Structure 1
């Protein structure tokens, strides 16, 4: 069971936003693949997992810019029976949603909102290298131009606070990744590198939101890299260990959505438990390096992984009949 749910981490596909709205980041949130052996191929079957991330940002006072951010990512994975050149083919589908929560109350503070992210469709090509080592390649697209949302922040008194919230969703996000994992002896030692590539500059379809200025674009969107690191150990049904993750923006010019924000790195810990029918994980991290002063934040993640279907094992061949004469 452990290998199944560790490898189920071949996918936890999410979207993210920074603690301050003006500093955009990758569509794939840093830390979304922490705790998962994304380099290991999944056994054939169908898997469901749900990851929820919550970013606790510093409370800067009664101003309208104080928000916490949540991201919910339900994922469906089909690990197909197809094996090409030694690598198993796995198909992925995920429709993430972003939430913002105003930290204070009063007419000048922010309303809570939800924002649709373009549905992710993609696939993984995963190889078992032997001796508990695995490597995988991921490719896919967030269909932001089909069903993504721009988001508009409004105060409780009805005044404009910021728009768009997620300017990077003006473009489809083209996602590519490579991961390596060691899963022997109860360990999960995984490194995962994820790239998000955009058509930049890009515009949202339709018109500007009336009364909210330029919510359509064009916007200059920075291509980015995320690094997710996991080092955990299983003790019976329990899992515990250290994690780290971060992001790097390439274009931080004044015209970019990531203006002045090269990225950040966070460190923390993870605990998990295998209940048999499903596995649960909780992990948390604190920013330890930031490029924007006083932008440190604490993030908490929760995850449930459920194997939905696996092929019925083939019946063993009958034992040979032996007779003595």
Structure 2
């Protein structure tokens, strides 16, 4: 299936959320780009990709979380200054799964989040090296959900971990647009995918969820000032025939660890300890199906600050090339006859 299993990484700059009641987390999910050669330019064409991440969070977190991210990418014929222009759009969905079956357990819920629109400028540097630059925005102010955690008994899980009316939003990130910038470098020679990807999230905050949402007496109005964050995704895999196998690692770093930056007291952070971030390591297996490429990867928290959570994360991905320009047929050679 040509090099699609490698270069499809350029479209994997997906738009997804951390699905947590602690707001000092990046909008871009850490690890969403592992397993993909995000530094390499895509061949001209249209591509679809879907990634699903399931976070099995250790106690005392009251929830597990899932994020589904469909992405559509147009790798354009435009190559200004030698760099391929690629346009992408992604409308992610977040799922929250409450643990336990008691009346105080949090109910399962799901909601769509701000659509991501952006572009990539990707360069082939030669000798199987590539580098790319990304810019875009999560349009949370247009279609971000103002969901809140509710218990099975109907009360609300408020930010300090208690239960009562008038709770805050599940994801403070959705209170404002998020501006995303990234740079990636890849080596894709001899069946290898060696990639490092750095992603910055800059928040248009403080922002407010306002108005009466009929959630408890009087609804809620709450202002959020979200910590800007930096994510690092690392990949080291090799292709063996149709199979791909290797190691991955990823993490996030929050710049603002103050209360204003979103470090609240809740079940995952009972002492209000500043949430500086976390880092995970694991492995990846992929397979070339012919019409598509499938990947599964698993990672576990190895380092974290006291204000965040441990988790085992299982992710699956499918990469499908939808369209590529028909190659131009070579002109027939003239028939020359000698008499």
Where has structure 1 moved over 6 Å in runs of 4 or more? none
Among residues 279, 300, 305, which one is paired with 2:319 in the alignment? 305
Q: In the alignment, which residue of structure 1 is the partner of 2:174? A: 169
Q: In the alignment, which residue of structure 1 is the partner of 2:248? A: 243
CA spacing shift, 1:118–1:230, aligned 2, 3 Å? same
TM-score normalised by structure 1 residue count: 0.94
TM-score normalised by structure 2 residue count: 0.90
Shift of 1:214: 7.4
| Secondary structure of the corresponding residue to residue 201 of structure 2 | strand
| Partner Cα separation in structure 1 for residue 199 and residue 148 of structure 2 | 28
Unaligned runs of 5+ in 2: 159-167, 265-273
| Partner Cα separation in structure 2 for residue 320 and residue 288 of structure 1 | 67
Root mean square deviation of aligned Cα: 1.7
Shift of 1:2: 4.5
Shift of 1:117: 1.0
Unaligned runs of 5+ in 1: none
Shift of 1:203: 1.1
| Partner Cα separation in structure 2 for residue 299 and residue 135 of structure 1 | 28
Shift of 1:292: 1.7
CA spacing shift, 1:132–1:218, aligned 2, 3 Å? same
Q: In the alignment, which residue of structure 2 is the partner of 1:316? A: 330
| Partner Cα separation in structure 1 for residue 286 and residue 295 of structure 2 | 4
| Partner Cα separation in structure 2 for residue 134 and residue 79 of structure 1 | 15
Q: In the alignment, which residue of structure 2 is the partner of 1:218? A: 223
Among residues 78, 83, 87, which one is paired with 2:83 in the alignment? 87
CA spacing shift, 1:322–1:81, aligned 2, 3 Å? same
Contact 2:212/2:218 (<8 A) preserved: no
Q: In the alignment, which residue of structure 1 is the partner of 2:58? A: 58
Q: In the alignment, which residue of structure 2 is the partner of 1:196? A: 201
| Partner Cα separation in structure 2 for residue 118 and residue 293 of structure 1 | 26
Contact 2:116/2:137 (<8 A) preserved: yes
Question: 1:285 aligned to 2:299?
Answer: yes
Among residues 132, 139, 142, which one is paired with 2:135 in the alignment? 139
| Partner Cα separation in structure 2 for residue 201 and residue 189 of structure 1 | 38
Q: Which moved more, 1:6-15 or 1:170-179?
A: 6-15
Superposed CA offset, 1:95-139 (max 9, x none): 001000112112111110012210011100111111111100000
| Partner Cα separation in structure 2 for residue 124 and residue 207 of structure 1 | 39
| Partner Cα separation in structure 2 for residue 232 and residue 101 of structure 1 | 32
Among residues 231, 234, 240, which one is paired with 2:236 in the alignment? 231
